[in-house]
Amino acid sequence: MGNKKITQEAYLQKLQVTYGDMFNLDKVIYTGAHDKITITCRIHGDFMYRASDFSRTKRPCPRCLMLEVSQYRIDKKINLIKKLGEFKDYGEFVKSRTRYMEYVRYGLLDEAKKLLPPSPDLSRRDRIVYAYEFPDKHVYVGLTCSLTRRSWQHMFHDNYSSVKEHIETTKLLPVLVVKTSRLPSIDASRKEGEIVDIYLSEGWKILNKAKTGGLGATKPIYTKESCIMVISRYTFLKDFRKNNPNMFAAIQRNNWYDLYQGLTKVIGKQASRRVRNIVTGKEYISTIEAGRDTGINPSTIRASIARGRNKTKTWEYVQDGVCLFQGKKYLGIDEKPGELY
């Protein structure tokens, strides 16, 4: 025996048991389990549900649900803003990655920057000037906030350290000499240069690779202006990301995606990809442009030239060389037209 068909009265009675006086059911007309019915919310008016779904489980009004979700997000944002008082500065806030990503998800990063005090500037910390003196009259001069940490880096951690390289080459051990007490960063930077000059005058060979005076121990603070200046030097996003991973991460973290629009718009590929139609004599800046104009697949054009399949001698590459591209103005940055690509 098949299932007994539910009548209008039985269906309404079932809804009354499930929902009570939550909705106005005057417009409900039951014609089948898979047909839609019209329910009236006492606040937002009519909405529709499939009859079987609405009777099986308790369903809310869609508009009421949206308001509840919106109110939840509002309450959540208020609570997150109140919790900013748990952090002493923005640097500590960033280090708490789980909490930080929660603020990013709710779009509260700008509010956190405004309400929290900035991180202390590491470049203002006092520094010690030190030197590693080798028996063969080689010396490395540097400055640091933490002599213990920097010594460990020179000896064990930093594979590009001049001190470590000289030890491995000569098998000689240096003597660590502290040249000054703790000095303000500007004074320590100047003093480092003076000590290097003294060593040079005494006939020592300097192992330093970088120019003296660099403060080190600082974490760059990226701003929109600094990111725009760096982005303007690149043509493709992949090149910018490869050469500036930290700045790329900062842009992603702060949702500054509009800055990518400042990348140069390339007119063509390399000049080796510039092609000419021998029959018409028309040149194209790329096989893609040639394909758009002639309706031929660009890969067919490239293959016919590169692999000798062009039996009719219709296409050829223009002379080898570099292609010129024209820059564009974006956010006040002028890129010179005709710059080599």
> Residue-wise pLDDT tens for the chain (341 aa)?
446 678 888 888 888 888 888 888 888 888 888 888 888 888 888 888 888 888 887 888 888 888 887 888 888 888 888 888 888 877 778 777 778 888 888 888 888 888 888 766 544 567 889 999 999 999 999 888 888 888 888 887 666 688 888 888 898 889 999 988 888 877 888 888 889 899 999 999 998 877 665 555 555 667 788 788 888 877 777 778 888 888 888 887 887 877 776 554 333 333 335 788 887 888 887 777 788 788 888 778 877 776 554 455 677 777 543 333 333 333 333 333 333 32
Residues 130 and 193 in one domain: yes
From 206, 224, 254, give the residue that closes a domain. Answer: 206
Domain span at 77: 65-115
286 lies in a domain? Answer: yes
Burial class (CB in 10 A: 0-12, 13-18, 19+), 143: buried
104 lies in a domain? Answer: yes
Nearest-angstrom CA–CA distance, 21 and 247: 58
311 lies in a domain? Answer: yes
Residues 39 and 81 in one domain: no
Residues 276 and 309 in one domain: yes
Residues 82 and 132 in one domain: no
Residues 6 or more apart in contact with residue 197 via CB below 8 angstroms = none
Residues 103 and 51 in one domain: no
Helix (H, G, I), strand (E, B), or coil: what is residue 132? Answer: strand
Residues 182 and 109 in one domain: no
Residues 45 and 96 in one domain: no
211 lies in a domain? Answer: no
Residue 306 contacts residue 292 (beta carbons within 8 Å): no
Residues 128 and 197 in one domain: yes
Question: At how many degrees (to 10) do helices 224-231 and 245-254 cross?
Answer: 130
Residues 33 and 92 in one domain: no
Nearest-angstrom CA–CA distance, 278 and 283: 9
263 lies in a domain? Answer: no
136 lies in a domain? Answer: yes
Residue 341 contacts residue 270 (beta carbons within 8 Å): yes
Sign of the dihedral defined by the CA atoms of residues 283, 284, 286, 291, in that order? negative
Residues 144 and 198 in one domain: yes
State pTM to two decimals. 0.34
Our count of domains for the chain comes to: 4
243 lies in a domain? Answer: no
257 lies in a domain? Answer: no
Residues 75 and 18 in one domain: no
E strand residue ranges, 134-212: 138-144, 175-178, 205-206
Identity of residue 273 = R
Nearest-angstrom CA–CA distance, 188 and 126: 8
Residues 53 and 70 in one domain: no
